[in-house]
Amino acid sequence: MESGIFLASVMISIAMNGLILSSIIYYNISDIVMPHKPQKTSISEKIRLSAMIYEKTADLIKQDKEIMRLLRELNISIEEAEKVKKSTGLAKECEDCAKGGGGCCGRNMEAHYGIEIILINLLMGVKLYQSKYKEDSCHFLGEDGCILKAREVICVNFLCERIYSGIPLRNIILFQEVYGIALQKLFYLEEKIKMFLRRNILY
């Protein structure tokens, strides 16, 4: 096997004369396990693959007590962070900006998202779509803002001049502190998901 290449064993197997023939999808490992840099694989393909992995492994994942514990903790942390985001006024500012074509949720921001975090969102009950709500926006921008629960660091930490000029600094600091806890839990969960995929999906 070449260095840096894994086989995604999301397979379609056919029994023929006692032999199993498998259709195997090849992915460069950097396209799958480096979620914090733009990736070459299209978002539609990553969503399709994530949905396939979810369908085949969701029951197995739900038997992993550590993953499920981290998933519950992440969900609680995100809910707490979203409450702070709304109470401080950040949510309204971001939603209004995004609906007006703001740059933070602009075209190709979805390229920063990898298989693991998409899978985590599926596990959290998020419904993902193959088509965009707005052609010139991020794939994950919906009618009422971002459709994701678990978001990449770049989508949380970057705050534009509009935020700094319209929101009191103490509220911004509070939001960053609370959401920092959620991002830490997301990091731990992503690492567990990577280990799970390597054990059960990637070889």
Token pair for 48: 């399709």
- Name residue 182's amino acid: A
pLDDT of 9 reads 33
Other Cβ atoms closer than 10 A to 19? 7
Distance, in Å, from the CA atom of 186 to the CA atom of 203, rounded to the nearest integer, reads 24
Token pair for 141: 């921008």
pLDDT of 28 reads 35
Distance, in Å, from the CA atom of 110 to the CA atom of 141, rounded to the nearest integer, reads 9
- Within 13 A of 81's CA, how many CA atoms are on the CB side? 25
The most distant pair of C-alpha atoms in the chain lies apart, rounded to whole Å, by 70
pLDDT of 50 reads 93
CB 32 within 8 A of CB 114: yes
Q: Where exactly are the structural domains of the chain? A: 38-200
pLDDT of 103 reads 64
Radius of gyration (C-alpha) of the chain in whole angstroms:
18
- Name residue 202's amino acid: L
Residue with tokens 């029951």: 59
pTM: 0.76
User: Could you read off the pLDDT tens digit of each residue along the chain, which spans 203 residues?
Assistant: 333 333 333 333 323 233 333 333 333 333 444 344 445 788 999 999 999 999 999 999 999 999 999 999 999 999 999 999 999 888 888 877 776 666 678 788 899 999 999 999 999 999 998 777 777 788 998 877 889 999 999 888 888 888 888 889 999 899 989 999 999 999 999 999 999 888 876 54
- List the beta bridge partners of residue 16: 19
Positive or negative CA dihedral for 38, 41, 47, 51?
negative
pLDDT of 22 reads 33
Residue 185, sorted as left (phi over 0), alpha (psi -120 to 50) or beta, turns out to be: alpha
Distance, in Å, from the CA atom of 160 to the CA atom of 170, rounded to the nearest integer, reads 16
